[in-house]
């Protein structure tokens, strides 16, 4: 079956899966650095000097090897390829059902992005847990299947859905905020700019700005999510928040590196590609790596038009 003849929702799924593959491969190192920074914070003593993202980057290369920066890429692929596809197709279906004859306003855009991201996030959560553990360096899993089996046998099925609340508190608002900022930024631009030869650059710039804003807003939830998923004790979201605040204060929710900002670009990967519906990200001491990853990866599948 040719792509041109496929159902629009299927095309959205296929394009989203392809963009998810590209962004995952490109930004996995930033995602790993973000997770390592947050894991280091979890074990750091109060008052200890903070470790920056560049130090983590160098340490991984020195103590492991260069390609260790892509550790966790297998579960990332398993999660993102279908996950971004689910996000795209859900976003498209919701938009076609509720906003076929008009564009959503700012509040409706938030609900569209958050709804699509919730469906994708819950569906792929077990693989998100495995990905986070792979990246943390605290577990010696050999394969995704082996990791799933090990977690299920030793910790139970509940462990595969650990951090659900924190994940939704991060991903749903991120996608909602991203879609809102992106769509409103596009509307504010003159039509001649959006339709000119510079349209791809304009779309990228709008996506970057939206991704950074969304990443900053959801950074605390990302830190909480990582703490819960890396810990075998399966803290509740409330306990994790209290622990981080007690040990590190408010600064503990905004660790110093900046992988998250980079990841924000990555999350933008869930934005629909023209002419399909745009979608937002899946993916915070890591403010920079994280934001960049979310932003840049979302950019890979950009276009909320």
- Asked if the structure places residue 24 within a domain, the reply is yes
- Asked if the structure places residue 275 within a domain, the reply is yes
How far apart CA 233 and CA 54 sit, in angstroms, is 30
Residue 154 sits in which domain range? 3-299
- Quick check: 290 and 222 in contact, CB under 8 A? yes
How far apart CA 13 and CA 7 sit, in angstroms, is 10
Q: What tens digit of pLDDT does each residue of 239-286 get?
A: 888 888 888 888 888 765 444 444 444 444 444 433 333 333 333 333
- Asked if the structure places residue 305 within a domain, the reply is no
The CATH number of the domain holding residue 157 is 1.50.40.10
What pLDDT score does 11 carry?
A: 77
How far apart CA 270 and CA 180 sit, in angstroms, is 13
> Which range has highest mean pLDDT (76-80, 148-152, 165-169, 293-297)?
148-152
What are residue 294's DSSP bridge partners? Answer: 267
Number of compact structural domains in the chain: 1
- Asked if the structure places residue 44 within a domain, the reply is yes
Helix (H, G, I), strand (E, B) or coil at 156: coil
Average pLDDT over residues 46-63: 78
What does residue 152 show for φ and ψ, rounded to 5 degrees? -65, -45
Helix (H, G, I), strand (E, B) or coil at 19: helix
- The gap from C-alpha 278 to its chain's centroid, in whole angstroms, comes to 15
- Asked if the structure places residue 174 within a domain, the reply is yes
Question: Would you say the pTM of this structure is higher than 0.85?
Answer: no
What pLDDT score does 234 carry?
A: 57
Q: What tens digit of pLDDT does each residue of 65-106 get?
A: 888 888 878 888 888 888 888 888 888 889 888 888 888 888
- Asked if the structure places residue 304 within a domain, the reply is no
- Asked if the structure places residue 285 within a domain, the reply is yes
Average pLDDT for the chain: 76
């Amino acid at each position: 079956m040719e792509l041109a003849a496929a159902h629009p929702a299927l095309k959205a799924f296929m394009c989203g899966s392809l963009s998810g593959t590209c962004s995952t491969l490109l930004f996995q190192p930033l995602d790993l650095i973000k997770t390592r920074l947050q894991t280091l914070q979890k074990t750091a003593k109060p008052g200890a000097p903070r470790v920056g993202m560049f130090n983590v980057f160098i340490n991984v290369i020195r103590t492991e090897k260069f390609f260790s920066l892509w550790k966790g890429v297998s579960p990332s692929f398993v999660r993102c390829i279908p996950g971004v596809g689910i996000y795209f197709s859900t976003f498209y279906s919701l938009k076609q059902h509720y906003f076929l004859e008009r564009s959503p306003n700012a509040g409706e855009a938030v609900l569209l992005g958050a709804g699509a991201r919730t469906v994708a996030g819950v569906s792929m959560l077990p693989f998100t847990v495995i990905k986070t553990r792979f990246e943390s360096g605290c577990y010696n899993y050999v394969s995704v299947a082996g990791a799933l089996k090990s977690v299920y046998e030793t910790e139970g099925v509940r462990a595969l859905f650990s951090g659900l609340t924190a994940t939704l508190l991060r991903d749903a608002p991120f996608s909602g905020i991203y879609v809102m900022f992106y769509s409103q930024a596009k509307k504010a631009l003159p039509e001649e700019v959006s339709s000119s030869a510079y349209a791809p650059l304009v779309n990228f710039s709008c996506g970057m700005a939206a991704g950074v804003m969304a990443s900053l807003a959801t950074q605390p939830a990302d830190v909480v999510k990582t703490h819960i998923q890396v810990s075998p004790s399966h803290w509740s979201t409330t306990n994790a928040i209290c622990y981080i605040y007690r040990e590190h204060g408010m600064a503990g929710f905004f660790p110093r590196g900046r992988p998250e900002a980079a990841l924000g670009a990555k999350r933008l990967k869930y934005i629909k590609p023209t002419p399909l519906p745009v979608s937002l990200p899946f993916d915070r001491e890591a403010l920079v790596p994280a934001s960049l990853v979310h932003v840049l990866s979302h950019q890979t599948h950009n276009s909320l038009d």
